[in-house]
Structure 1
Amino acid sequence: MKDMFFGVKYMEEKMKLSKIEKYRLIRLTVILILLFSGVASAQVGRTGVPFLLIAPGARAAGMGEAFISIADDATSVHWNPAGLGRYPLTGAWKTFQGSEKDAIQEIVLVKNNLPENNYRQFDIWGLVNNKLAKWDGIRWMTGSKQQLKAGSSLKSLLVRYTGLEEDAAAPYIDKLARQNNTVTPEEIDSLKTRILAILPEKYSYKEEIGFGFEKLNKAWLELRINSAGIALIRADINAALADSVPSAEKLDKIAFGFDRGIAAKGDRSIWIPYDLILPDSINCLGSDEENVFVGSNSGFFRLEPGKMRWTSFTAGADSMLSDNITAIEKAGRRTMYIGTDKGIMSFTGRAFNSYPSDQNAPKGRVSAIAADGDRNVWVATGSELYHFDGLKWESSRDKQLGVGQTLVKSIQNFYGEFGTVDYTKIMAEISSTNSGLGDSATAGQIIKLPYRLGYRGDITALGVDQKGRVWIGTTTGINYLDNERFYHFGYKIYKADTATTVANVAAYFIPDRNPTKIEKLSILIKQYNSLTSDDLPKGAQVLVYANALGTSIKAIEPLSSKTTVVATDQGVVEYDNGKWARMHGSDFQGSHVSNIYSHSGEMWVGAGNRVDIFASPKKQITFMHSNYLVALASDIYYEYFSFVLPTKEWGTFGVGVTFLSLGNQQRTNEVGDALGGFYTYEMALTLSYGTKLMDNLYGGISLRYINSHLSDAGAGRERGSGVGSSVALDGGVIYDITRKLTLAATVTNVGPDISYIDADQADPLPRKLAIGFNYKLVDSPFNKLSVIGEATKLLVDLNHSFKTEINEIIPHLGLEYWYSNYVALRGGYIYDKIGVQKYFTLGASLQYTSYRFDFAYIPPSNENTNRLGNTLRFSMNAGF
């Protein structure tokens, strides 16, 4: 009550109110005191606009309002702007590093059953050191363990795993047994040969020894060899061999000791290599996000990872075009296009479809496939490019000349720079493709324009973006084709004003005139332009290498209608809305990039012995509504809204709006006459920014505008109104010490005092220091448990004794448990010693995909120490 009295008297002096107005003010002050009693209540009376201390977000409220070290959703605008610079509010590169000996040749993704909606929902499978492998989070695994139940045979396990008939699976039993035994059958046979060689002719238990070795061989096939027992048997045989004439005692010990080398029957864990039934050489991998497909020189294979079951397909048994598989690409939901050394075929999961040669389907070895649905498929064979629209295959574009269009102009437009530089050669090719075509054509005439004339070199990679453009990577650079024409990159046109030489052209583009560089560029110019002479006549035009976009292309991955990532021989570059730039965030050497995968804006890059993943951020919004002091008034409520916007190059920005309704008030004059009503409220608008400062360290800053509207006009003779405004700054840092431990600190509401009528009686803002930690006790895909701690201290009126200042520190403690990212439970405790407030908090969440609904509740207890008891809060957070 002392704080309440102080607050009333303070505002009386400011506004010189009438007796009736004093009553209204007391009501308002009581509301404010009750409202903020759970937030540093002993110190709030010394500050203005204490509504800034209300904790937004029911998630934080449920864990004792300890949140600055988490700050991973849109409420970080309030709690800690450094969270904006940290994943998942900012994109981040994650590196999965293999061993130095690992060489990743290709990667594919398969959806797992983890309850995630980000990159963790996919398992990474790869062709590593020419073996099929799966990344387990730490290393590449080339197999998995399966349980062999007691009474089950290795053959039955193999039949289930391989999908083969018993007779066909039999040859793999020996291979699998060798993988799971520390003793080879050759070692057992060697022991048998050595002991039988020294057995006396009349030894009584010769048959028992022979039968013992038969039991060992059977146990070896059943994976029941006891290595320690085999060592004892080996020692006994060596001991017998050491004597010139082995004693009967030593021989008997061998004859009746074979059971030592055989383990008891029971469930056993069997290691099964993924490539058990695969040939030694693998050409390519593919995925439909449910299965892994493997192409080899001797067949096509499908692995169902969930069941760990293989299915084999061959040309002889399954009507495939060829057993030599060279490329695999998904098109549509279920269709896979499969390239072979004899052309292209499609696979729907059950049957293969080959395309007759008279349909102009690709012929020869397929080098690349790209598809945007099963009606927009592009296939490359060497330097030839084919398109399939769902009905027919074409290796050229049909161009119908319009009125006023000339053949020359149409060719130059369609082929871009090539149409200008190489018009004569291109025209000769077009004439041979279109029989009867002269030097000109008439309006309405349809001309076939071969795709192969729009790029140079053999095709190494293809990609189709959301605009339907096909990206063509070759041994000489990157190009793309849209509905109108080809576009080329990495080269510049040079036109000779006078007769010159190739060397002079090269020297023109080498500023330092380095002879070695000039010679190399001269060779490139001649090769790229197919020049047979070093001389260039006046007016001749050539294309000159300009940058890395003109080198051999390793991989292409369109991310959206505007963005495409390209791995060149000299690095990874990004085409973004018409501009090329090096891809930031991770250090790639293009020559080591095997392939690039993307899904929902996230990207996986296989490079050398590692996989780099770009974990994409999402925009987030959050909204919270909470009614306060319902028994006192129905128009007192709190609203909070925030929005987070990640940007590609500038970090992440956020905006937050805080609004507190204090209800309708009645205005009266000095004698108590009613003069009408007015509405009281307080609000703040916050702009935030966060970014990564260095590895594991993140920082953020917020700018806040504050408006406190307590009255529309002054009382009596007072001029002005009970409206004040101010601005404030917040700053915060987050430091991930380890994968499990995070530290954080914030300083908030730093700014000029807020005043209403009398500037000399301005109130300080509720400046606050907070220090916290988050420790992940359990961090598994299905279970996550964190303990969160925080200490807060208002930085206002710091002239008390040291003991008092320490006592004013308010500890917050919270626990948060997530099950499967669907359900969360929370608990917390807040202890304000000076303000005599101590109470528990409870919370829960329900999450579905990117939508989360949070609830918090403060159980009722002693009213003197828990004035917010029985308060329920609700908030919603959504990502998109």
Structure 2
Amino acid sequence: MKVILKSGITLLISMLLTWTASAQISTDELSGKINTVTSAVPFLTIAQDSRSGGMGDVGVALSPDANSMHWNPAKYAFAPNDMGISISYTPWLRKLIKDINLAYLSGYKRIDNEQVIGFSLRYFALGDIAFTDIVGNPTGNYNPNEFTFDAAYARAFSDRFSGSLAFRFIYSNLTGGQFVGGVESTPGMAYSSDVSFYYRNSDLILGDYDGTIAFGANISNIGSKMGYTKGSDKDFIPINLRLGTAFTIDFDDYNSLTLALDLNKLMIPTPPEYYPLSDTADLEGNPVIRAGYNPNVSVPVGMFRSFYDAPGGMIEELNEITYSAGLEYWYAKQFAIRGGYFHEHSTKGNRKYFTVGIGLRLNVFGLDFAYLVPIYQNHPLANTLRFSLLFDFAGLKGERR
């Protein structure tokens, strides 16, 4: 009995020492290490349109327009017109490769005063890639491409609150069926959904000025994992939580200013910290986790665990949040000037850049332009331009809600 008790105490002490050491590893040694959270089809997280692109990539709580599908489909319930369509084009990463492009088509149609349906189609072309075999002999060229098709239903539950469900088909063909590492590759496919909400109160009075405050929330890309070879391990798609607010003040009938803030966090596993293989390995020769959690889990487990699975503890979890802030000034609801800032922690990707943009609204269509200015020199996103063309079908009839 004494032997059993002594063994139990020894085991308990060992567990406590192990837990303490793990905590020390997480908080002291791991908090400053580069540990980027990666996923399949990361193009799903790129800001699609020029309005938000000129405001530091904010959008979840901005006033609704034809591009609301990407940011928050629930905003469609308060869309100003019966129908709208937008076309956007972005030459992407031109500092690295000249033929990477992102095209985006989105729009909505009102069913009645409370219900709206939305759609979008995005196409991402990754340029021309030359493939070789294992010894370097050319095997052909291919133009990798990815696209998605989205559909959403939005409904207003009151004069101030709305919700939406969106569904998405994702297709990614990166190799064109080439053999990679001796294994035949296949296109990746996945299905996902979005759940979003939107609240706005346009009855604010600030002294002599009228104001509007809005809040938005969107959990996007909740869906299946994606793989590119038969029987291979599949990767998470970028399930994302986006929260934000926007505040608009109308100085008079001609001048208004909007301030907006978005917070984003990927709801997928953070890579754990492993012991070196030279020090320790499991019975199958795989590395042993030193801190964090096994990332090979189901989608629901990965989503919920994403809030506490970082090997660096809560400090690292907070570092995984990206911040976007932007402002938009309108004159006579016809001409807009925009600016913004996007911030990502240096250990999680280190994207830090300013954005500027302008907008023009005519009777039937509108034009938006955005330009990205990175903080660091020789950044791959430097000089990124976005172009958007919006069609206002209410303008054709001379009607607006």
Name the TM-score, length of structure 1 as normaliser: 0.34
Query: 1:665 aligns to what?
Result: 129
Written as runs of structure 1 = structure 2, the 5 A alignment for 1:468-547 is none
Select which of 166, 190, 196 maps to 1:702: 166
Residue 683 of structure 1, CA deviation: 0.8
Select which of 308, 319, 323 maps to 1:807: 319
Residue 641 of structure 1, CA deviation: 0.6
Q: 2:196, 2:219 within 8 Å by CA — same for their partners in 1?
A: yes
Query: 1:52 aligns to what?
Result: 44
The answer on 1:686 being equivalent to 2:158 is no
CA deviation profile, 1:263-321 (whole Å, cap 9, x unmatched): xxxxxxxxxxxxxxxxxxxxxxxxxxxxxxxxxxxxxxxxxxxxxxxxxxxxxxxxxxx
CA deviation profile, 1:654-707 (whole Å, cap 9, x unmatched): 110111100122232233322222120111111111110123101111100001
Distance (whole Å) between structure 1 residues aligned to residue 136 and residue 72 of structure 2: 47
Query: 1:823 aligns to what?
Result: 335
Query: 2:386 aligns to what?
Result: 873
Q: Secondary structure at the match of 1:839?
A: strand
CA deviation profile, 1:325-382 (whole Å, cap 9, x unmatched): xxxxxxxxxxxxxxxxxxxxxxxxxxxxxxxxxxxxxxxxxxxxxxxxxxxxxxxxxx
The answer on 1:87 being equivalent to 2:79 is yes
Q: 2:186, 2:230 within 8 Å by CA — same for their partners in 1?
A: no
Query: 2:9 aligns to what?
Result: none
Residue 719 of structure 1, CA deviation: 5.0
Query: 1:782 aligns to what?
Result: 254
Distance (whole Å) between structure 2 residues aligned to residue 645 and residue 843 of structure 1: 27
Residue 879 of structure 1, CA deviation: 1.3
Query: 1:265 aligns to what?
Result: none
Superposed CA RMSD = 2.0
Q: 1:653, 1:689 within 8 Å by CA — same for their partners in 2?
A: yes
Select which of 620, 626, 633 maps to 2:90: 626
Distance (whole Å) between structure 2 residues aligned to residue 853 and residue 84 of structure 1: 20
Residue 634 of structure 1, CA deviation: 2.6
Q: 1:618, 1:879 within 8 Å by CA — same for their partners in 2?
A: no
Residue 755 of structure 1, CA deviation: 1.0
The answer on 1:726 being equivalent to 2:190 is yes
Cα 1:51–1:650 shift into 2, 3 Å: same
Between structures 1 and 2, the one with greater helix share: 1
Residue 862 of structure 1 aligns with an amino acid whose one-letter code is Y
Query: 2:61 aligns to what?
Result: 69
Query: 2:278 aligns to what?
Result: none
Query: 1:266 aligns to what?
Result: none
Residue 332 of structure 2 aligns with an amino acid whose one-letter code is S
Residue 816 of structure 1 aligns with an amino acid whose one-letter code is E
Distance (whole Å) between structure 2 residues aligned to residue 694 and residue 735 of structure 1: 9
Query: 1:736 aligns to what?
Result: 200
Distance (whole Å) between structure 2 residues aligned to residue 859 and residue 789 of structure 1: 19
Cα 1:716–1:687 shift into 2, 3 Å: closer
Cα 1:787–1:43 shift into 2, 3 Å: farther
Between structures 1 and 2, the one with greater strand share: 2
Distance (whole Å) between structure 2 residues aligned to residue 693 and residue 854 of structure 1: 31
Query: 2:239 aligns to what?
Result: 767
Residue 325 of structure 2 aligns with an amino acid whose one-letter code is L
Distance (whole Å) between structure 2 residues aligned to residue 703 and residue 712 of structure 1: 26
Cα 1:696–1:869 shift into 2, 3 Å: same
The answer on 1:859 being equivalent to 2:373 is yes
Cα 1:43–1:842 shift into 2, 3 Å: farther
Q: 2:94, 2:384 within 8 Å by CA — same for their partners in 1?
A: no
The structure with the larger Rg is 1
Residue 807 of structure 1 aligns with an amino acid whose one-letter code is N
Q: Secondary structure at the match of 1:859?
A: strand
Residue 775 of structure 1 aligns with an amino acid whose one-letter code is F
Residue 82 of structure 1 aligns with an amino acid whose one-letter code is A
Cα 1:631–1:64 shift into 2, 3 Å: closer
Cα 1:721–1:72 shift into 2, 3 Å: same
Could you list the runs of 5+ residues in structure 1 that have no partner in the other structure? 1-41, 89-616
Query: 1:793 aligns to what?
Result: 265
Distance (whole Å) between structure 2 residues aligned to residue 621 and residue 715 of structure 1: 40
Query: 2:289 aligns to what?
Result: none
Distance (whole Å) between structure 2 residues aligned to residue 78 and residue 43 of structure 1: 27
Distance (whole Å) between structure 1 residues aligned to residue 319 and residue 93 of structure 2: 28
Q: 1:71, 1:79 within 8 Å by CA — same for their partners in 2?
A: no
Query: 2:70 aligns to what?
Result: 78
Q: 2:73, 2:164 within 8 Å by CA — same for their partners in 1?
A: yes
Name the TM-score, length of structure 2 as normaliser: 0.73
Q: Which has the higher contact order (CA 8 A, sep 6+)?
A: 2
Q: 1:44, 1:50 within 8 Å by CA — same for their partners in 2?
A: no
Distance (whole Å) between structure 1 residues aligned to residue 116 and residue 182 of structure 2: 46
Residue 648 of structure 1, CA deviation: 2.7
Query: 2:4 aligns to what?
Result: none
Residue 45 of structure 1, CA deviation: 4.9
Q: 1:71, 1:80 within 8 Å by CA — same for their partners in 2?
A: no
Q: Percent same amino acid at aligned positions?
A: 30
Could you list the runs of 5+ residues in structure 2 that have no partner in the other structure? 1-33, 204-211, 270-305, 394-401
The answer on 1:637 being equivalent to 2:149 is no
Q: 1:776, 1:787 within 8 Å by CA — same for their partners in 2?
A: yes
Residue 860 of structure 1, CA deviation: 4.6
Q: Secondary structure at the match of 1:868?
A: coil
Cα 1:692–1:779 shift into 2, 3 Å: farther
Q: Secondary structure at the match of 1:663?
A: coil
